Amino acid sequence: MTHSIPKGQAIPKTEAPSPAHLELFQKEDCRNSHAVRTALTDLGLDYVAHSVPDGDVQKHENLVQKGGKDQIPFLIDHKTGMKLYESDSIINYLERRYGKPVKNSIVQNRPIASRISWAMRRPLDQARKLRRDFMISWRDSFETLRGSTRLLQSSFRTRVQGFPLRRRARS
């Protein structure tokens, strides 16, 4: 069965989803940024995240232009015009403005699990980096030792060729 729209009647348009009114300037490996992202997710809020990695001058300049400081996490609420730094301040504002997160065991245990995960991940990443650095250093040292041994062996062979080795007679 087909439907026809009478002449002169406008076709109803669906509204495009409005862009998120919350902007978060953050860094992926920052635990404070992680806490703010978790709060935004727990509250069910849509937001635009801008990663501001170390060494990216342009993104840091954009952050300073928007907020005045080169500090993360930084949240802008375009509905209210609020600009906030510090994860505790941001989370308190979000909970006051948009309500408390849903109370269930998964959400209540998530912050504890996140902290434990963060605490475990950090030393493991450092241990992996130390192991990688050690392996590179060990390999370089081994190659240097191997080259030195070959040099000594070739040097010894050239000296010995001119003078035959004499074995001592056993008595």
pLDDT for residue 105: 41
Tokens found for residue 24: 């978060």
Residue 68, classed as helix, strand or coil, is: coil
| pTM as predicted | 0.50
pLDDT at 104: 46
Helix (H) or strand (E) holding 114: helix 105-162
Pick the range with the lowest mean pLDDT from 6-15, 22-31, 64-73. Answer: 6-15
For residue 36, CA distances in Å to 5, 113, 140, 141 come to 48, 15, 43, 45
For position 154, what pLDDT does the model report? 77
When pLDDT is cut at 50, 70 and 90, the band that residue 7 belongs to is low
Bridge partners, residue 75, by sequence: 24, 84
User: Is residue 17 pLDDT above 50, yes or no?
Assistant: no
In this model, does residue 152 exceed pLDDT 60? yes
pLDDT over 80 (residue 128): yes
Q: Which is more confident, 103 or 37?
A: 37
Q: Cα angle vertex 54, ends 53, 56, to 5°?
A: 75
Reported confidence tier of residue 24, pLDDT bands at 50, 70, 90: very high
**Using CA atoms, how far apart are residues 114 and 128, in angstroms rounded to an integer?**
21
Tell me what pLDDT residue 148 has. Answer: 87
Average pLDDT over residues 56-69: 88
Residue with tokens 């509250």: 43
